[in-house]
Amino acid sequence: MGRSRKRMTPNQSDQNPIDSSKSKRAKEAEPEEELLNQQKRRTQKNKPDSELSLVGPPVPASEALKRWPSRYSNSTKVSSAKKKGTVQSLEGGSKEEGEVLQAKCHYTKAMVDGCVYNLGDSAYVKADEGDLDYIARIVELFESTDGEPYFTAQWFYRAKDTVIKDHEDLIDKKRVFLSDIKDDNPLNCIVSKIKIAKVGANINLEAKEKKIPPCDLYYDMKYSLPYLTFSNIINETNGGDNDTSSTISSESDSNNVPVVPVMRLLDLYSGCGAMSTGLCIGASLSGVKLVTSWAVDINPHACKSLKKNHPETQVRNEAAEDFLSLLKEWPILCKKYAQGKELDQSPDLVIEEEGEEEEEEEEGEEKGEEKENDNDEDSSVSDGEFEVEKLLAICYGDPNKAKKSGVYFKVRWMGYGPKYDTWEPIDGLSDCQEKVKEFVTKGYRSNILPFPGDVDVICGGPPCQGISGFNRFRNPEAPLEDMKNRQLVVYMNIIDYLKPKYVLMENVVDILKFAGGFLGRYAIGRLVSMNYQARLGMMAAGSYGLPQFRMRVFLWGAQPLKKLPQYPLPTHGDKGKGGVPNEFEEITVAYDKNQPCELEKALSLGDAISDLPQVNNDAKEDERTYGTTARTEFQKFIRLKRNNVVSLATAQIASHPGLLYDHRPLELNVDDFERVCHIPKKKGANFRDLAGVLVGDDNKVKWDPSVERVLLKSGKPLVPDYAMTYVRGTSPKPFGRLWWDEIVNTVVTRAEPHNQIIIHPLQDRVLTVRENARLQGFPDCYQLFGPIKERYIQVGNAVAVPVGIALGYTFGLACQGLSDDQPLTKLPFKFPNCLSQLSSALVVDVDDSD
């Protein structure tokens, strides 16, 4: 977002391994010198000096000066990376300055309690009474100018000292995480020597376990406070792999022209496909061809919208847990049926998708067509017998509601049409083995389902409705026992099974607010337990070119040898504000305070929708002409024809380039429409402007005793009681009218004006589906399907398209090995200009002439 803020230092975070038992507030209040004093008080005071010493000859002065120049500097001011008694800042940019503990000489060995410690050895370091001792690597041994022996510790984190916290049970008890944090400590802080082994990164847990040598602890990642990052230890390895040189290596055609690498994406809880659409566009802008090969959602209308806009995608309308069960059954079926030479034949044969069959049936009914083979008399099958013509689809679950879950095939019966198709259990098709083999073989060749290792990217936002503020029965003690939150577990289980190279999870900010961020911590803990690198951040849609605030959480995951994608810095200023949990405030993607940045002007409602034609409350047309020209740059690019939009141009679908889709509102009932007509057409207007309502000095509404209550034509009150009592009478939202220079805080899934500001500035109706879609960054060519309320749901549940584009771009850089190890990066483009495959000068406005 456009705002800036002070960047956290480790001793202000609850993830600081030096002082993990204290509250964040207490740590912020403690001066740095006091931290050192506390540390000294924690040492073993009864340990006589004779039991500890720096041993052996000192490091030659010339070598010591070269290796540790700040220890022998005449200047007393150096960077805080070596500040006395403090930890270093992990964030790039400007650093504070402070004193460096000056040295008389350096050593390579020390003795504590009769045990010799060398540079590079690891040790337990004394903690407060009752706390587990800290874990450190000894990276420096020196005698201070006042004759005291010191060591510099590079600290390790236990899982419970990181953002994972109470989910430490997910992580091997012997596994720790290296940090970049170093500080100076009196030598008598050392308790005992331990052996910490470095283990090579490996996504295969079994293979990794076999390579762990005898040791007390081991580490394979480091943990950094900025954006709560678990990542590869670059300076101890050869660096991250990149995908364009491995499994998706960029080949050349016969003319030696490089072929753009193709990566396959699985969109879970896909909705209408906004997140994957944005990611694919962004990846394309980086030079990577990312294709949504598979998508899964339980909402049939959302699935239809996705399929219509992305016909190349295998779209599955089913529960995610059933999808996972089918994924596990599919390799078994393929091994049994899809063996032999037929797998090497041409893959032209494809599975007929369930949705296509249903559409065929619907179209036939609309036209009054009768299928010739729908008549039993034309069938050669004897009475009481049915013959399988072909198998159309496969699923796992209980499609017949018979309380019997398992593998089912959708059957087209010989002599019958689509309306007689049925789901049959695989056990009931024992006499149709050839049909099963034919289906499985075709499905195998067509990649209708992925095998483990087939998926390059999994994205999705598992619903966690159990944390919603509207849920009166939330369980803060055990959120995962609430079935409404179980999809987070299913999402992680699918990742565990398929083992994609990259993961991107999206969710509401409440995942970090509710129960101390229990679910967010679980998510990152699961990824790390599966040996994925991980990074956590929050992004606001308004910061990337939309007139909507919409803060959301994004969790990146990457296999151990891959580059962990960065977060894209904001491109636009924003007008929004929203609740961000204090504990996680520093993972908001933003420029640092005082960091120079040039941001585009924040967008407002008028920038996005002022060009759209007027429609009435009762409008029913799904398609209409624009009738106007674009008035802003945003409108010019959001109107792009499909064949000019990056990534969408390759989808061969029938769409008229001059038509505007889904520009129709939810039709208000008679009473609500009459109420809306009474709301003044001015900025800030709402139910408080209606007759009989007064607003007190405390901002609470009350009835005007001098005005008789106004009634509607139906006899119901003009001002409903619920408007007066909403949020104890303090909210201006009921029947609120938007204005051109404002933004929408968050596009939601409902369009009723009872408790939200959603009325059009100048028209007596709520915002249309298309207007909401523009606020989410959908190109106008992206068509939605289903009942009107379902379309609002699809738009409201979507990940804002420009946010997806920005993340897709940083993903593309990472998988090509083009990004560095910093958590943030700048974008070379802005939305919506980036949608165009053409230069800005060549973009022609869509109007009635098309």
Q: Is the pLDDT of residue 6 over 70?
A: no
Per the prediction, the chain carries an average pLDDT of 85
pLDDT over 60 (residue 507): yes
Confidence band of 466 (pLDDT split at 50, 70, 90): confident
pLDDT, position 328: 98
What angle, 0 to 180 degrees and rounded to 10, lies between the N-to-C axes of helices 300-309 and 788-797? 70
Dihedral angle over CA of 810, 813, 815, 820, nearest 10:
-90
Give me the pLDDT at residue 618, please: 98
Identify the sign of the CA torsion 826, 832, 838, 844.
negative
User: Using CA of residue 834, residue 835, residue 837, residue 841, what is the dihedral sign?
Assistant: negative
Q: What SS3 class is residue 584?
A: helix
pLDDT range class, residue 50, cuts 50, 70, 90? low
654-703 per-position pLDDT tens digit: 556 679 999 999 999 999 999 999 999 999 999 999 999 999 999 999 99
Say yes or no to pLDDT of 512 above 70: yes
What confidence tier does 2 reach under pLDDT thresholds 50, 70, 90? low
**How many Å apart are CA 467 and CA 693, to the nearest integer?**
35
Q: What's the CATH number of domain 606-802, 3.90.120.10, 3.90.1150.10, 1.20.1250.20, 3.40.50.620?
A: 3.90.120.10
Q: CB-based contacts of 117: which residues, under 8 Å, 6+ apart?
A: 109, 110, 111, 123, 138, 141, 151, 190, 193
Would you name the residues annotated as active-site residues?
A: 464
Confidence of residue 652 (pLDDT cuts 50, 70, 90): low
- The residues spanned by each domain of the chain are 34-221, 353-359+385-446, 606-802
The lowest-confidence range among 223-237, 647-661, 747-761, 825-839 is: 647-661
Q: Alpha helices, DSSP H only, in 471-612?
A: 487-498, 510-513, 518-529, 605-609
Say how many CA atoms lie within 13 Å of 804 toward its Cβ. 28
> Is the model's pLDDT at 14 over the cut of 80?
no
349 vs 520, residue with greater confidence: 520
The model's confidence at residue 576, banded by pLDDT at 50, 70 and 90, is confident
Q: Report pLDDT for 70.
A: 94
In this structure, the number of other CB atoms found within 10 A of the CB of residue 478 comes to: 10
pLDDT of 248 above 80: no
- What average pLDDT does this structure show over 616-631? 96
Q: What is the pLDDT of residues 414-446, one digit of tens each?
A: 999 999 999 999 999 999 999 999 999 999 999
pLDDT at residue 236 in the model: 56
Annotation: CATH topology of 34-221:
SH3 type barrels. (2.30.30)
**Position 364 pLDDT exceeds 90:** no
Burial of 795 (0-12, 13-18, 19+ CB in 10 A): buried
Q: Tell me, what's the pLDDT at 846?
A: 53
How far apart (Å, rounded) are the C-alpha atoms in residues 597 and 572? 10
DSSP-derived secondary structure letter, 45: T
Taking residues 800-812, what's their average pLDDT?
98
Q: What's the pLDDT score for residue 74?
A: 66
Asked whether the predicted pLDDT for residue 93 surpasses 80, the reply is no
Percent of the chain with pLDDT over 90: 72
What CA–CA distances, in Å, run from 139 to 68, 109, 119?
Answer: 11, 11, 6
Do 275 and 249 contact (CB within 8 A), yes or no? no
Least trusted range by pLDDT, from 241-245, 320-324, 393-397, 433-437: 241-245
Reported confidence tier of residue 377, pLDDT bands at 50, 70, 90: very low
**Taking a C-beta distance cutoff of 8 angstroms, is the pair 112, 148 a contact?**
no
DSSP lists the bridge partners of residue 660 as 624
- If residue 638 lies in a helix (H) or strand (E), which one and from where to where? helix 633-638
CATH of region 353-359+385-446, choose from 2.40.50.40, 1.20.950.20, 2.70.170.10, 3.30.530.20: 2.40.50.40
Q: Is pLDDT larger for residue 215 or for residue 28?
A: 215
Position 44 scores a pLDDT of 42
Lowest mean pLDDT among 248-252, 622-626, 745-749: 248-252
Of 659, 708, 680, the closest CA to residue 848 belongs to 659
Q: What is the pLDDT of residues 517-540, one digit of tens each?
A: 999 999 999 999 999 999 999 999
Low-confidence winner among 103-112, 340-349, 591-600, 753-762 (lowest mean pLDDT): 340-349
pLDDT tier, 167 (very low <50, low <70, confident <90, very high otherwise)? very high
Of 4-8, 319-323, 401-405, 605-609, give the lowest mean pLDDT range.
4-8
